[in-house]
Structure formats: structure tokens, C-alpha cells
Structure 1
Amino acid sequence: MPNKINKLQRIIGNGLVLFSCEGVAEGVIVTKLIEHDLTFLDRAQIVQDDSADEDETDVHWFTNERHERRIEDAFLNEDYGNDVFVLSVKDQQKHGLKFRETYTTRLHPVHAINIITHPEIEMLVLYREGQDQQFRKWYERNKRSLGKNAKPSKFCTTELRMADVKEYSFLKPYWDDETELVGALNAYRQHTVNEPGDFMLADLLK
């Protein structure tokens, strides 16, 4: 849906972007999009987390911080000379970040945007592996017995034998192929409907 990409690009414009990632997989994929030059964002637009350890993860392109007040204290007290867009990458479609009025009404305000990976970011693994239909059948068979645990990550670990599907050591090389990554993001977009105003990772693509 190119118009959704264009919409997000128009909203951000020349503003700065801070990625707030819910988990390891979200951070790995955001990093791959940036380092493979797959996103319409310029690297100079991205607020980095200078406090992060770079020896084990690529977290410097994003923060794992999820609490609004701690994000404000760590990143938003500086005057960047431009609007700042906090892109919250998460699986829940509700409950966006809410920053204090001090930040949202200043000369260069802070804006919160949801980047949704519902029901779980492991859906991207299922699309890459061509297992999305099998997952849906498995879900129907197991949703009553497993309840909330009938989710993509559970399918990956039990049916695809991907025990480390949430681990950095597995995810970094797994998503290193940019063609596979872009294909999975676009497949997710084709089969998913978000709430109005929310975006997907595919909407960051060029």
C-alpha cells in the first residue's frame, strides 16, 4: 500500500525519529532496515541510544525503553531543532505512548506513532518460511487448549523447531538477507489490517 508509506513519510518529513522497540526481534529488524538502507529515513534523522552496549547488540539505532517518562528524561530534554517522532514498535494495537504536554506543545514538539506487529513479530518468520496458513490451522486446533499461548512464537518453537526464535544470536543472521526481510514485511502488510492511524514496519520501506 504505497499511499500508507507516503503518508508516514509526509508526517515525519525532515523530523527526527526515535525508535522505541518492544523486544529483541523488533530491534534487530529496525537495525537491518537502517543498515541495509531499506527505509526512506536518512540515518542522520535517527536519534541514537548512546548509552547502549554495542558489543552484543545493535541497540544504538533504537532504545528498548518503553516508559514515557524515562524516554523523556533520556532523550527528549535536548532541543534537537526539529520535531521528534517516537516510533513505538510493538505488537499491541492499543495503548500508544503518551508524552507530557511540556513535550507535545513546545516549539519542536514530540509526536508518538505506533508501528504495529500484531499479534507477534514472529509472524514475519512465518511469512518468510511460508508457514502462515499452517499457523492459522494450528491456531484453530489449539486456541482452546493453549489460550493466550497459541501465538506465532509458540508455533515457531514447537512446530518449526526454532527454539531460539526470540534470541539475538538467532535473529541477527536470520534477517540478514534483505530480500527475505522485505518480502516478509510486504507479505505481513498484505494480510494485516491495522487500526486507523497506526502503521507497520513495511510502511518504513523506500
Structure 2
Amino acid sequence: MYAIICEGAAEEAILDVLLDNKLLKLSKKDLLENKVHRTRSAKNFFDKHMRLSFSEKVYIYRILDSKRESFTIPKKIEREYRGKFEVKNVITAPEIEILVIISEGQYSKYQKSKLKPSEYCKQILKIQKIKEYKYVYEYFSDISRLLDAITKYRELVKKDSEYQMLYDLLDNKFKN
């Protein structure tokens, strides 16, 4: 059993595109409640979703844009669920919107700016709805655009051994 959690609408949209098009190693039917969950709080996630009884271990994929984001699991929950879950962090630093910048062929220009990716998208690329689920889902509905951006991100950004990348979650047949 798996769970995917993310913080915002853009991340959720990208994961939904990947799942809806069967591009990941896992499918929606493999997921806890058959969907991506939006939350930042470990306590809220465990209180709301892990109170169910599972016969198998739950692998929790956290989609993060910062290594500083905490997912502090209260000691009581840690004891109660010991051995029943494993958290895997998937990084999209500095923000998930970097995939749009890469897709638009603007990565080198973005690097010269002092803007956050979401601000770059709004100010330079004139994409005002960059954080809205519907816009991001439609933008990446051309799955080749999304796969190319994920692959290029992997090539452009130094991988940290503590974190996975979206590329690592792709089904092998979609990796170069």
C-alpha cells in the first residue's frame, strides 16, 4: 500500500497527470483511498488516514519542494505505527513550478534571475494561474511535455542521496 502526499494544488495536479496516464511505478488503485493527499502535517495525515487497519506496510511518498520542510511524527503515533509505514521524500526544489520553467526552455534564464520559480512563471512567463490545479493539470496534459520536464530536471539538478526525484517514481518504460 502507498500514500502520496503533497502540499499544494500544483503538486497534486502533476501527480494526478502522472497517475491518470499510468506513468508511475504505482497506480491510483495502489494508493491509500485511491488518491493523492494534500497536507503538510504528519499528525493530521496519520489522524485522518492511518487510523484504518492495514495488513501491509504503507509507503508514504512526500512530494517536497524544500529540504527544510518538516514532517514531525509525534512519538505516540511513531510507537503506535512502528514498522507499519515508511516515509520516502521526493524533492522538486526549489518549487514544483520549476518543471514549467524547464518545459518552456527557460531554465538558464531563470537561473540568472533572483526570482522564485512561481514568481518567474508569473512575472516573466505571464502565467498567473501557476498554482491552480486546473491550469497545471491542463498544461501538463501533454504527457510528453511533463515527461521531458521531469527527465531534464533530473539532468539539471544535483541529486541528494537522501531524496528521490519524480523521475525515480516513473515506470521504467518512461525513463530514458
**TM value normalised by structure 2:** 0.89
The one of 110, 130, 155 aligned to 2:105: 130
Alignment of 1:76 with 2:53, yes or no, is no
Deviation, structure 1 residue 104: 4.4
- State whether residues 96 and 113 of structure 1, in contact with CA within 8 Å, keep that contact through their aligned partners in structure 2: no
- State whether residues 88 and 97 of structure 1, in contact with CA within 8 Å, keep that contact through their aligned partners in structure 2: no
C-alpha spacing 1:136/1:24, structure 2 compared with 1 (3 Å): same
Cα separation, 1, equivalents of 2:21 and 2:45: 26
Equivalent residue letter for 1:164: K
Cα separation, 1, equivalents of 2:28 and 2:8: 21
C-alpha spacing 1:169/1:101, structure 2 compared with 1 (3 Å): closer
Deviation, structure 1 residue 96: 4.6
C-alpha spacing 1:123/1:154, structure 2 compared with 1 (3 Å): same
Deviations 1:102-125 (A, max 9, x none): 24424xx11111111100111100
The one of 120, 129, 139 aligned to 1:164: 129
Aligned partner of 1:147 in structure 2 is: none
Cα separation, 1, equivalents of 2:162 and 2:52: 27
What's the % identity of the aligned pairs?
Answer: 28
Larger Rg: 1
The one of 79, 100, 105 aligned to 1:102: 79
- State whether residues 116 and 194 of structure 1, in contact with CA within 8 Å, keep that contact through their aligned partners in structure 2: no
Alignment of 1:27 with 2:12, yes or no, is yes
Cα separation, 2, equivalents of 1:126 and 1:46: 29
The one of 81, 85, 91 aligned to 1:116: 91
Aligned partner of 2:66 in structure 1 is: 92
Aligned partner of 1:5 in structure 2 is: none
Q: Give the match's secondary structure for 1:126.
A: helix
**TM value normalised by structure 1:** 0.76
Cα separation, 1, equivalents of 2:89 and 2:123: 30
Q: Unaligned stretches of 5+ in structure 1?
A: 1-15, 49-59, 144-149
Computed over aligned residues only, the root mean square deviation of the Cα atoms, in angstroms, reads 1.6
Task: Flag as ranges the 4+ runs of structure 1 deviating above 4 A.
Answer: none
C-alpha spacing 1:103/1:41, structure 2 compared with 1 (3 Å): farther
Cα separation, 1, equivalents of 2:119 and 2:27: 36
Cα separation, 2, equivalents of 1:202 and 1:41: 13
